Amino acid sequence: MHEMSIIQSILGILKEEMVKYDGQKLKKVTIKNGALAGVVTESLTFAWEALIPDTPYAGVVLEVVEVPIKVACGQCGEEFWPEHTKCMPCPKCETLIGHDVLEGKEMLIDSIEIDDTV
């Protein structure tokens, strides 16, 4: 399960980022998980829940936003959201291959929310 190592990396990034907030508490982390990223959202959430107890991040909410695939047709340039990851006929010209992926490959920290009432 590579999601465990992804969460470990995210926790390392959060540790570095929280230095900027001088003792304030992290409340929420939002992650974007693209449909082509190869990361299972449920496994990511499981890994988060397994790794954060007994850390400064205990109680921090993890939100995972699933990003669908968006492509631009390589033939006519039409942008669309295919229903499948393997067969992507363009709704305008019906071209099957050669599309450029515009969204859906990302796996990133989108935002963090800090409790500034401390």
What tens digit of pLDDT does each residue of 43-92 get? 999 999 999 998 899 999 999 999 999 999 999 999 999 998 888 999 99
Q: What's the one-letter identity of residue 24?
A: Q
pTM confidence score: 0.86
Q: What's the one-letter identity of residue 25?
A: K
Contact status, residue 82 vs residue 71, Cβ threshold 8 Å = yes
Q: What sign does the dihedral 38-44-46-47 (CA atoms) show? A: positive
SS3 content of the chain, % helix, strand, coil (to 5): 25, 30, 45
β-bridge mates for residue 66, sequence order: 33
DSSP conformation class of 43: H
Q: Could you tell me the residue ranges of all domains in the chain?
A: 3-68+104-115
- What class does CATH assign to 3-68+104-115? alpha beta
